[in-house]
Amino acid sequence: MKSLPVSLLLLTVIPLFLFACGSGEHEDIKLWMTESTRDLRGSVPPLPELKPFPIVSYEASDKPDPFGSERLEPERKEGVGGKRPDFDRPREQLESFPLETLNFVGVVSHGKTKARHALINADGVVYRAEKGNYIGQNFGRILDISDNEIVLLETVQDPSGQSSDWVERKMTLQLQEGTKGKEAGK
């Protein structure tokens, strides 16, 4: 039973000792905090009053729907089609190839008239064409053949899509100088 009074004594003495040690510590900080916050009083300003917006009615029932499909496609106009290509004429050999796949590889002049013929490579076959012949898939008719280019006039549907008219545009096919031609000349 002797152990009971010693443990009771320890339980009473230790808390008193801790209280005595901690009571005077940091008094200067506590005093500064009290003095600094003495005049401070927190306040939150009231929220601003919300003003209702006026109701505006949208009256555009007679106007086109901005999200409708008619806004996506341009309005097509029927044209007179004065520049339509001749669909009834027989097609020439070089009209079956797209213009991008044709290579202008040379020029040949012969005869008393010195008529110029262009040599055009298409799919590994060399064709001969002269002024007035048709080449490419856009009804391209050869207007002129020079030493380094072929000038042709293509007839295509209106590229803007605004009408179904046919329009004419000038295109050129440049002379292609390849390594095979240079080696063959040696």
Domains of the chain and CATH, by start: 93-184 (2.30.30.830)
- Which has more pLDDT, 73 or 140? 140
Residue 128 has pLDDT above 70, yes or no: yes
Residue 179 has pLDDT above 80, yes or no: no
Instruction: Flag whether the pTM goes above 0.85.
Output: no
Mark residue 124 as left, alpha or beta (left: phi above 0; alpha: psi -120 to 50; beta: remaining). Answer: left
Q: What is the pLDDT, as a whole number, of residue 178?
A: 65
pLDDT-derived band of residue 184, with 50, 70 and 90 as boundaries? very low
Closest CA to 97 of 114, 69, 80, 120: 120
Mean pLDDT on 1-10: 68
Residue 186 has pLDDT above 50, yes or no: no
